[in-house]
Amino acid sequence: MERIPILKLGDLLLVTVQVELHDQLALTLQDDLTNMLARTRARGVLIDISGLEIVDSFIGRSLGNIAAVAGIMDATTVLVGMRPAVAITLVELGMSLRGIRTALNVDKGMALLRESVDEPGATPSPS
């Protein structure tokens, strides 16, 4: 069965989305990520979408759902590697990716997560 691998990097999880996130794949990813968060007790999730040329409203919503579920599992999600064209399209479509923080690349996303995880009593702000 097709699934997106989730990598453990220290106390963070990294998901690299390289294929169109269709319905079943998004649900499988959500399930796998939830299980992985429970097992590893990770506090941060990085989702890299540098491999995606298109982010439509379905993918945007799926990513939002995944971030929401991770949030309930006490983990902060940061979306990284968005291509400039994708960012422009999102704004043109009026999609705000509410509830998901973003960073330019994995390094910056990691720094952001470490900050927010280390902050005592920090509530993740929707960017």
> Which residues are at the interface with a second copy (CB under 8 A)?
3-5, 7-10, 14, 16, 18-19, 48, 50-51, 81, 105-107, 110
Nearest-approach distance from CB 62 to a second copy, in angstroms = 17
Q: Which is nearer to a second copy, 29 or 70 (CB)?
A: 29
Q: At what angle do helices 57-72 and 23-40 cross, to 10 degrees?
A: 20
Q: What is the smallest separation between the CB atom of 121 and a second copy, expressed in angstroms?
A: 28
Nearer to a second copy, 54 or 98 (CB): 54
- Helix, strand, or coil (residue 7): strand
Q: Which helix (H) or strand (E) holds 62?
A: helix 57-72
DSSP secondary structure letter of residue 125: P
- Supply the minimum distance, in Å, between the C-beta of residue 105 and a second copy: 7
Give the Cα separation of 60 and 4 in Å (integer): 17
